[in-house]
């Protein structure tokens, strides 16, 4: 049976009312523009702004660490884009924001912030040092390490890792020489994202391992950068950082 005309009119009004709330480029419902009360449209625009602010605040409450890492201004701008692209589908506010991590992974302006992606990566148990002790010495060079889902290696023409570390401190930011390049290893061994600044030889070492090269090949890459490369120290860093979850052996 067809809906009564009044019910159809109500559905159309509700749809246009909600759609315009979440898209500032859309005009307010036509019935409001026809209203003789000149304050009607003004009140609607105020309500539209309040809805946007409320949803952004909801995301900030759900993802406080992301806001802390990016800064409030960047977070709120990113949340606004997320809102426009992925409006709520449920009247329950606590269900909103579940797809925010997927949005961050595709958000172009967050690409220089891979620690955000690392923060939301899947959980896996990092490699434990006692497992390595069982590897026969003749097989060590042939080991291939499997990266943790949160592991990222980032290179920058600026001192990005130092800038990031300074801005996570509660103390005032110290003077930073940002003109030099840096490489950083980003991991999340537990619930906190960790960023380690790497020397050129360490960056070559970890880069080779993350690409799936053997420990022997990775060591050669590091030695090409620095003949004094300390393999023992960097193996300890490999375990401590939680950058890898397990290992296998390459073909002989």
What is the share, in percent, of the chain residues with pLDDT greater than 70?
74
Higher pLDDT, 178 or 9: 178
Buried (b) or exposed (e) across 211-220, using 16+ Cβ within 10 A? Answer: eebbbebbbb
In sequence order, which residues have a C-beta less than 8 Å from that of residue 170 and are 6 or more positions away? Answer: none
Comparing C-alpha atoms, which of 10, 106, 8, 90 is closest to residue 55? 90
Question: What was the pLDDT predicted at 120?
Answer: 62
Comparing C-alpha atoms, which of 94, 65, 67, 91 is closest to residue 79? 67
**Does the pLDDT value for residue 7 go beyond 60?**
no
Comparing C-alpha atoms, which of 183, 186, 125 is closest to residue 150? 186
Q: Round to whole Å and give the CA distance between 36 and 30.
A: 12
Higher pLDDT, 133 or 65: 133
| pLDDT band, very low/low/confident/very high, at 25 (cuts 50, 70, 90) | low
Higher pLDDT, 54 or 44: 54
Comparing C-alpha atoms, which of 125, 119, 19 is closest to residue 75? 119
In sequence order, which residues have a C-beta less than 8 Å from that of residue 223 and are 6 or more positions away? Answer: 201, 229
Question: What was the pLDDT predicted at 6?
Answer: 46
Determine the average pLDDT of the residues in 93-98: 76
| pLDDT band, very low/low/confident/very high, at 8 (cuts 50, 70, 90) | very low
Question: What was the pLDDT predicted at 95?
Answer: 74
Determine the average pLDDT of the residues in 63-83: 83
Q: Where are the domains of the chain?
A: 5-111, 129-249
């Amino acid at each position: 049976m067809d809906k009564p005309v009044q019910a159809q009119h109500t559905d159309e009004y509700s749809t246009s009312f909600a759609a315009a709330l979440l898209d500032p480029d859309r005009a307010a419902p036509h019935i409001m523009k026809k209203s003789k009360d000149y304050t009607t449209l003004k009140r609607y625009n105020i309500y539209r702004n309040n809805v946007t602010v409320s949803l952004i605040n909801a995301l900030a409450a759900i993802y406080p660490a992301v806001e802390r890492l990016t800064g409030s201004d960047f977070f709120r701008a990113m949340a606004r884009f997320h809102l426009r692209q992925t409006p709520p589908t449920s009247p329950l506010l606590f269900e909103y924001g579940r797809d925010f991590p997927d949005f961050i992974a595709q958000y172009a302006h967050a690409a220089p912030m891979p620690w955000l992606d690392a923060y939301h990566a899947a959980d896996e148990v990092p490699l434990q040092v006692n497992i390595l002790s069982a590897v026969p010495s003749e097989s060590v060079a042939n080991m291939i390490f499997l990266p943790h889902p949160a592991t990222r290696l980032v290179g920058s023409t600026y001192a990005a890792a130092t800038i990031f570390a300074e801005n996570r401190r509660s103390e005032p930011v110290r003077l930073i020489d940002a003109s030099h390049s840096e490489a950083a290893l980003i991991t999340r061994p537990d619930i906190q994202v960790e960023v380690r600044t790497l020397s050129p030889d360490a960056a070559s070492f970890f880069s080779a391992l993350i690409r799936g090269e053997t420990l022997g090949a990775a060591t050669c890459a590091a030695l090409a950068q620095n003949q004094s490369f300390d393999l023992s120290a960097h193996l300890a860093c490999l375990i401590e950082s939680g950058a890898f979850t397990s290992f296998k052996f390459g073909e002989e």
